[in-house]
Chains A and B, each alone.
Chain A
Amino acid sequence: MSGAGGEAIRVRDPYPGLRDVVVTGLGALGAFGAGREALAAGLRSGAPRLSPVERPPGYHRSHSARRAALVTERDFARWIPPAAARRMGLPSRFAVAASMMALEDGGLPRAQVTPELAARGAVFLGTAFGSALFSEQLLGEIFRDPEQASPFRFAESVANAPTAQVALALGITGANVTLTLREASPLAAVAGAAREIGLGRADWALAGAVEELSPLLHAALDRFRALARPHGAQPEAARPLDARRDGFVAAEGATVLLLESAERAAARGARVLARVRGAFQATDPSAPAASWGCGVDELAEALAAGLARHRVLPEEIGLVVSGASGARRGDLLEGQVLRAGWEGAPLPPVTAPKGATGEYGGFLAGAAVLAVESGLVAAPRWFEEEDEGVGIVPVDALDAPPAQTVLVSTLAAAGAAAWLLLDPA
């Protein structure tokens, strides 16, 4: 294996004796609704359910994006006691609700989380922007009169509030880690949790991502030309990998996976949705603060070295679940890196679930688990015209669940890159 310059790529030593980790539960809350079936239905639909974003005076430009994949669910009583929900901001409610769904889906309802079990648990969540609305509201209060600033809003404005609220709701006293790597946050969080279990510091973990989309965040993303825009009567649409793409559709919500040591899952007879084969990360330092860089060769080498470290040959990848979102530069880089990583050989089938879910909220991780478990991929109804630069046509459907390793790939704005390898159960 060699890099772009012909030099040998350095493959690091294999990991020393980490425990096997499996995914046994999936919780998701998004514009598509609540739960694994709702996420699956959203993927089948091939397009995110869009709602108008509030447009306070001065926030948005007149020609800006107007809609986003917003969570319309406001009744969290199924997952959170109302008194507890009142002490949470919206991102915390998203995260706790998705966590409860993941536990239930994994056959481990909250009542079975004893203090002993909670002491062996961990929580790892990713977020790109943290608590957008409370931060904005708190700042407004401080600007008007600092003495009137809400202490509750401050406590819930910190980026780790949702992660902490999940721990509070379940009494989980192990590691409580919030990671922020923009679009790469969800995969990094899942990888972090898998490592915590692999090292034996936890037996199980809740891992995923949460995001809240405020009007100001939506307007800011649009000002950076990150968002797809409406074209005449045509509403904005995410068109991952398509030549006509003009940005992503912003989404909010949460995705949480229940991870366990394979040993613990087997002992309790849990259904295994997927096995975590490995994870790896890299950075494209050529990336500017608000866009993607040009480090194709370096990222492709990192991808090749990561696969090799996990003893996976490119031809052993059965499916790529791509983080392509419709971003002009981001999708181009994703296509170039994947093709360079395969060194000209044909790519395996590629699916781009963000075309159906929108960007943010960690739905990529949930979609990957569904793909491994059932072979479900997002229906690429958005895709019409291949982009020669990207060079990838998303797969319409799979005949069967992939029998081989699934590569989940995400390249974030500002340079972070994260990959996850999932094996079938």
Chain B
Amino acid sequence: MSPPEKSPARPLVVVTGTGAVTGFGWGVAPLFEALARGARAFRAIGRFDAARHRTHLAAEVPAAGRPLALEGMPHADAFAVFAAEEALVAAGLGRRELGPEAAVYFASSTGNMVEAERFFAELAATGGRRARAGLLASQPCSGPAEAVARRIGAAGPSETVSAACASGAMSVARALDALRLGDCDLALAGGSDSLCQLTYGGFNALRAVDPGMTRPFREGREGLSMGEGAGVLVLETREHAAARGAAPLAILAGAGVSCDASHMTAPHPEGAGAVRAMRDALADAGLRPDEIDFVNLHGTGTPLNDDAEWAALCAVFGARAREIPVASTKALIGHLLGSAGAVEAVVTIDALRSGALHATPGGGPPAEPPSSRTPVRIGLDGPLVVPGARYALSVNFGFGGANAALVFERAGEPA
């Protein structure tokens, strides 16, 4: 696909605030601090009884730190609302009714499924008499986006992309289009998903979950580890941010989406769709591959994903694939499914600002290529220093062959 022609008048879209909820806690601060240490958020699942599941670990969001105001709210809604409000505060917008200027472009793979599972369990246990239908009210994938719009009074467009693990990045791409075309002045783009038995049992049925902790791009890796949480970016045009005196954290320079159209659950073996998404994102940003300073990988830790992703990196970056710094955030916070791309975008922006790309821990030495296809510039034991990094790519791939890639540019001088 040839890239779209760039309009010289196309407005620049900037990120002015970020928010996150992850297995490290509520907020970006605990996330960034833990990433800098190379800590991992995996522990025994408490959200549901995982005893009969094949695996037992996940990066579950701790109950501690959840604001009282969000008590009683379904998990994915609460993650979304917290991350959105944190992002708005960071953007200098505070907690106020935003009205028609603001849009919500969100993502989720299962919405508030864990609450629906409680309804299902009550249905089975009580023969339906005492199953609480209220548990289903926010179950659809659109639930978290609706909760955010309600909370902040966003009256512009609101929508939810559900493209499995590519959803979060795709929602950011949709927001980028909307801002460039003037559909809104300000967009909250992100995603939210909570741990639930449906996805935990489903990925285990596919034998895609590592019984221990995930080890992306390591030899002998056995699969992903599940996580949960939300990530939100406040996006606005540079002019809009400047008019209100907001300092950009980064520039969202480009996006690309594509489909493998080759298999429902396995990636294209050569990463053909991933290559297209990355190339389209680069073209959208007006960049050459050699201008990218580091890549935040999809990096699930499944044998098939990492092989296909490495093949895609080689196709896009050529020999430089072995030199370009890369990281998998999933090695630390797990796979957040529909919100993965959003949280990883938050992490990518922080790496651009700090000049350090977090480690990708996993234990054990990487085997030498070609058997493992391990990129040489992955931070195995500690962060990679990327001083002066200007452009970064964040990529996500999902079931059904959905792919999305985002290009971020550092705003301001390097750290």
Contact = CB atoms under 8 A, between A and B. Distances in A.
Q: Chain B interface mostly helix, strand, loop or mixed?
A: mixed
A302 B400 contact: no
B142 A181 contact: yes
B126 A58 contact: yes
A88 to B, nearest CB: 9
B198 A155 contact: no
Nearest to B52: A146
A55 to B, nearest CB: 10
How many chain A residues sit at the interface, stated as a range, is 35 or more
Contact of A180 (B103, B147, B160): B160
A216 B136 CA distance: 11
Given A139-B120, A172-B261, A283 B204 contact: no
Contacts of A150: 205
A159 interface: yes
Contacts of B201: 138, 141-142, 146, 149, 154
Contact of B181 (A16, A140, A171): A16
Given A130-B162, A224-B133, A283 B276 contact: no
B317 interface: no
Interface in A137-175: 138-143, 145-147, 149-151, 154-161, 163-165, 167-168, 170-175
Interface stretch (B2-10, B345-353, B355-363): B2-10
* Listed residue (B141, B149, B273, B401) with the most chain A CB atoms within 10 angstroms of its CB: B141
B143 interface: yes
A287 B162 contact: no
Interface in B265-291: 265, 272-273, 276, 280
Contacts of A15: 181-182
B376 interface: no
A181 B182 CA distance: 21
Contacts of B140: 128-130, 180, 182
B127 A158 contact: no
Interface string B174-199: 10010001110000000000000110
A172 to B, nearest CB: 6
A141 B205 CA distance: 11
B228 interface: no
A169 B203 CA distance: 24
B7 A16 contact: yes
Contact of B204 (A12, A149, A281): A149
Contacts of A172: 259, 261
Given A155-B265, A281-B158, A176 B400 contact: yes
Contacts of A140: 120
A16 B4 CA distance: 14
Contact of B109 (A159, A192, A301): A159
Contact of A220 (B136, B263, B399): B136
Contacts of A154: 198, 201-203, 205-206
Contact of A87 (B117, B264, B276): B264
B131 interface: yes
Contacts of A280: 157, 183
A165 B402 CA distance: 11
B124 interface: yes
Contact of B206 (A151, A164, A192, A288): A151
B224 interface: no
* Listed residue (A10, A199, A289, A295) with the most chain B CB atoms within 10 angstroms of its CB: A289
A158 to B, nearest CB: 5
Given A17-B7, A158-B109, A160-B400, A176 B198 contact: no
Contacts of B385: none
Nearest to B404: A175
A16 B7 CA distance: 9
A178 B6 CA distance: 26
Contacts of B259: 123, 164, 167, 172-176
A334 B287 CA distance: 46
B146 A289 contact: yes
Contacts of B340: none
A285 B154 contact: yes
A160 B261 contact: no
B402 A283 contact: no
Nearest to B163: A160
A311 interface: no
Contacts of A106: none
B109 A281 contact: no
Given A87-B264, A146-B54, A177-B161, A301 B100 contact: yes
B154 A142 contact: no
A342 interface: no
Contacts of A118: 261
Contacts of A57: 127-128
A286 B136 CA distance: 19
Nearest to B5: A200
B121 interface: yes
The 3 nearest A-B residue pairs measured at CB: A58-B128, A164-B400, A154-B202
14 contacts: A15-B181, A17-B7, A139-B117, A155-B206, A158-B162, A158-B400, A168-B263, A168-B264, A173-B1, A181-B158, A192-B174, A200-B5, A282-B155, A415-B158
Interface of A: 10, 12-13, 15-17, 57-59, 87, 118-120, 123, 127-130, 135-136, 138-143, 145-147, 149-151, 154-161, 163-165, 167-168, 170-182, 188, 192, 195, 199-202, 216, 220, 223-224, 280-290, 295, 298, 301-302, 305, 414-416
Given A16-B181, A59-B128, A174-B258, 6 more contacts: A167-B259, A173-B273, A177-B163, A282-B156, A302-B155, A414-B143
